[in-house]
Amino acid sequence: MIKLLKAEHIKQKHDRIIIGLSVAVLIILSFMIIWSTCLADHESHQVLLEDSGKAGLYGLFFFVTILRRVFGLIYGYHVIDMEFINNRQEFFIKNTGRIRIITGKIILGMILLLIMSFLSFIIPFMISLLMFHQFSLNITLAFCQIFIAWLISIGSMLLGIFLRFIVNEFLLFTIIISILEFFSNFFPHQIIDFWTRCDGFFYLSQALVPLKNQLNDLKNQQIYLPHSFHLINGFIIWMGILVLMIIMNMYIIKRKDLTNE
């Protein structure tokens, strides 16, 4: 398994889309925190974020609600797509094995999402600390919220992997998810309902209440959490969905004829 992860790591660490996507997410996060604390006008200036712990939580919230889904979906789609470029899947399916390929990708993806969740907390935290020197850190709270953000993100990645087996065109995929994410009014509400219910945020929002409470004093900004499920129920449902998505992806890669894409 270590060798498989090492192989996947070599493939991904030089991949421009993955590097670009990760760097873009972190730059947007950094810019958001700098803008909110320094560059915004007096009315929008967030004094709250001059506290480093809260700045970290704000970064995490921004990641979970806005960036995580697009990042997870595109990442999940691309890690499978990279095996299909130039029809190279036949070679790698045969010389690696279908289940081994997808297992390696899912595990490495989970590690990357954990790192991204951690960085989305730590980068705003460090920026705030360096700029305003107000150290505050509730390690337990930060750890729990990073963990929840990670659990929510995994779903997006698995959905991206699944969608790669359905939609072959990267551009078409990007357009569809962008419209679903940012222009949802174009779609019937049943589709949007289904789309939001595919998401961990819908089930685990109760677990983000401590984070919301920390950020309650943000100016001109109201943090909305759906609170659809009780913490334990939501957690069980979401774990079930994640397991189902993993099984579904494993089944598809095992059964689908991937040689005639």
Partner 1 sequence: MEEQYIIESHHLKKYFKEKVALENINIKIHKGEFYGIFGKNGAGKSTLFKIILGLISSSEGVLKINDHLSIGYMPENIALYDHLSVHDNIQVTALSAGYDVSEEKMKDILEKVNLPSRTLAKNLSLGMKRRLQLAMATMCKPVDLLILDEPTNGMDVNSVLWLKDFLLQMKKKGITILVCSHSLNVLEQLIDHYYILVDGHIVKDEDWHNELHNQYILTINDDMNEKDISLIKNHFSIVKQEDDKLIIHSDKKLLDISRFIIENHLPVEDIDKEHESLEDIFLESVVEHD
Site residue total, partner 1 (CB under 8 A): 29
What kind and span of H or E run contains 113? helix 98-132
Q: Report if residue 15 touches partner 1, rule: CB under 8 A.
A: yes
- Cβ nearer to partner 1, comparing 185 with 260: 260
Nearest approach, Cβ of residue 226 and partner 1 (Å)? 40
- Cβ nearer to partner 1, comparing 100 with 212: 100
Q: Report if residue 254 touches partner 1, rule: CB under 8 A.
A: no
The region of 85-93, 116-124, 128-136, 240-248 touching partner 1 under the rule CB under 8 A is 85-93
Q: DSSP code of 206?
A: G
Residue type, 114: L
Closest CA to 33 of 137, 117, 129, 112: 129
Work out the angle between the directed axes of helices 68-84 and 98-132 (0-180°, nearest 10).
140
Q: DSSP code of 152?
A: H
Distance CA(52)–CA(134), nearest Å, equals: 6
Q: Report if residue 3 touches partner 1, rule: CB under 8 A.
A: yes
Q: Report if residue 7 touches partner 1, rule: CB under 8 A.
A: yes
Nearest approach, Cβ of residue 107 and partner 1 (Å)? 13
Nearest approach, Cβ of residue 236 and partner 1 (Å)? 35
Nearest approach, Cβ of residue 15 and partner 1 (Å)? 6
Residues constituting the chain: 261
Looking only at residues 33 through 72 of this chain, which bind partner 1 when binding is defined by CB under 8 A?
A: none
Q: Report if residue 170 touches partner 1, rule: CB under 8 A.
A: no
CB-neighbour burial class of residue 254 (10 A; exposed 0-12, middle 13-18, buried 19+): exposed
Q: Report if residue 94 touches partner 1, rule: CB under 8 A.
A: yes
Q: How many CB atoms lie within 10 A of CB 244?
A: 11
Q: Report if residue 174 touches partner 1, rule: CB under 8 A.
A: no
Distance CA(115)–CA(92), nearest Å, equals: 27
Which positions lie near partner 1, rule CB under 8 A? 3-4, 6-8, 10-11, 14-16, 82, 85-96, 100-101, 104, 257-259
